[in-house]
Amino acid sequence: MAPVDELWAELHEVFVHDDGSLPEFVLVDVPAGAQRALLDRLLEQGHTDDTIWDPSRDRDVRVSELLDAGGRLPTFHALFTGIRIDGVELPALGAFFIGDELALDYRAGPEWTPDTVAALARFLVELRDLAPGACVAWRADGGDTLQRLDELLDRSVAS
């Protein structure tokens, strides 16, 4: 089985059946210094109109303006659209920066295909590579259980 086919066979159930939840792929153990690089990559690849309340400025600010005095991003969630990876547009992804994690949530449905899942895998590996020491995991139940996906993702992008 080709690596991309293995990826689809392993994960397609969490993409095609919209049960109303927002499953997450999570980059864990993200170093503080890598948070800005991850946000910049999301902003380079996609678009968000979301603004976030900044209490230090007493106003809403654009996501691109976020960074606290210590160089860390505050906890926030924003919706990114128009992310294109190798010519494949991904469905909307929510990005939740919290502590040393970046959780990317999505709505399952018919827009997820083997091609879009393969593009998401490439994007997740790209993001992971911007955060030395981080790993990629999957959280479907909204709970604390994470399943590491690094090996599966690495195999799928090697094809």
pLDDT tens, residue by residue, 9-48 = 888 888 998 988 899 999 999 998 898 899 999 999 999 9
115-125 pLDDT, tens digit per residue, is: 999 999 999 99
Q: Indicate the domain borders of the chain.
A: 3-136+150-157
Q: 3-state DSSP call for residue 133?
A: coil
Q: What pLDDT score does 141 carry? A: 58
Whether pTM > 0.85 for this model: the answer is yes
Strands (E), the chain: 24-28, 51-54, 59-62, 76-80, 84-85, 88-89, 93-98, 101-105, 135-139, 147-148
Tokens of 146: 């994470």
Biggest CA-to-CA distance, the chain: 55
Cβ–Cβ < 8 Å for 129, 100: no
